[in-house]
Amino acid sequence: MKSLQDILIEPTIPVIFLADVLEGVGLDSPKARSILDALGLSADQLSVSANRLSVLEYSGEIARLMKTTDDLFLGFLDRSVPRRAFGVFALGAVGCHSLTSLVDYFNLYFSLFTDQFRLRLQDLPGEVRLELEFQERRPLSYRFIYQSMLLILLRLLGWFAGEELQPRQVRFRFSESDHDEHFHYLFGVRPTFNAPDTALVFDAKLADLPLSITQDTVREILRDNQNMMLVRTKAAPFTRQVRRLLVINNDQGWLRQQNIASQLGMTENLLWRKLKKEDTSYNQILAGLKRDYALRLLADPNLSVEDVSRRLHFEEVSAFTKAFRKWLGQAPGAYRRSLR
């Protein structure tokens, strides 16, 4: 069981993403209820847009759902694909040494289980496009499937190339929602929505990039399979370090930016530039952490709003209420009532 401190160190995502995950098995199914019970959530609370979930909890519950369903695609396809199929695929991919051969093998292998999706590789002037062609056969949004399949493909290519690859563009056919800032965290770029296809777009040099993988690498991939889908462990390293230092030193108050820079062995200006490159700032990280901590504390009925305000180091409850309204558009008390 992860401690609250461990959970707070990692980024959070809107809890509605969990609703996307559970869409395949059905929100009213026993499997979905088991997941929600473990998180202390109800199906109704998934629609409370303010609720957030640590990526650690998110990935852990997806791994649990995959284990209980023994389905690599969590009920989204016409028929299930056993979890072990991914390991067999990875071992078979050892013989692939180019992007073309990997895509061909991917399509051939998964055609043994389903005809519902395939990859299409396009070598275009100045770019390489890896398209996911998927047949939607049920009245579902399929957002989770599109998200996770593109992310798995990106991670696989990174493993095979021996480096973390940065796509030039990530394209989704579905429309953008108010919560899709999480996609930037996962892919490292802001996706394009309402695109004519679902695809990863890379610089043209990827077409000539030699791919190499050994059985030892495959074993490492399989150990990291859970995080490979949902947690980008190498993304935004300075953002994570700042958040971690804020969390572990919280008992004494919030560390100032200059103190964090000093602990990281750099100037305050250099830290500012590093965070800007990761599309954030000290103030944004601190505000997000305060919001996530406040949501956790407000879920505890034994704590008053005054207690929560004090733990977040606000001098006045009114200042906390004002900040909370800015984060969530409602007062702490109203948010707490929505949980019940």
What DSSP designation does 138 have? S
In whole angstroms, what is the distance from residue 145 CA to residue 25 CA? 13
- 3-state SS string over 264-291? CCCCHHHHHHHHHHCCCCHHHHHHHHHH
C-alpha separations of 291 from 51, 199, 255, 327, 338 in Å: 10, 33, 16, 7, 16
In whole angstroms, what is the distance from residue 309 CA to residue 36 CA? 28
What DSSP designation does 207 have? G
Q: Looking at residue 335, what is its pLDDT?
A: 87
Task: Indicate the domain borders of the chain.
Answer: 4-69, 84-230, 237-339
In whole angstroms, what is the distance from residue 269 CA to residue 276 CA? 11
Q: Looking at residue 293, what is its pLDDT?
A: 93
Q: Looking at residue 226, what is its pLDDT?
A: 47
Q: Looking at residue 233, what is its pLDDT?
A: 47
Query: 42: number of CA atoms within 13 Å, CB side?
Result: 7
- Among the listed residues 234, 243, 233, 312, the one whose alpha carbon sits nearest the alpha carbon of residue 271: 243
Cβ–Cβ under 8 Å, residues 134 and 77: no
Report the chain's terminal Cα–Cα distance, integer Å. 25
Q: Looking at residue 225, what is its pLDDT?
A: 54
Lookup: tokens for 82: 């056993």
- 3-state SS string over 1-51? CCCHHHHHHCCEEECHHHHHHHCCCCCCCHHHHHHHHHHCCCCHHHHCCCC
Q: Looking at residue 179, what is its pLDDT?
A: 72
340 residues of the chain, pLDDT tens digit each:
567 888 888 888 888 889 999 999 999 999 999 998 888 888 877 877 677 888 878 888 888 899 899 999 999 999 999 988 988 888 888 888 888 999 999 999 999 999 999 999 999 999 999 999 999 999 999 999 999 899 888 888 888 887 778 899 999 999 988 777 777 767 878 899 999 999 999 998 888 888 777 777 777 767 655 444 444 545 578 888 999 999 999 988 999 999 999 999 999 999 999 998 888 899 999 999 999 999 989 988 899 999 999 999 999 999 999 999 998 888 999 888 877 6
In whole angstroms, what is the distance from residue 87 CA to residue 220 CA? 11
What DSSP designation does 189 have? S
Q: Which fold has domain 237-339?
A: Arc Repressor Mutant, subunit A (1.10.10)
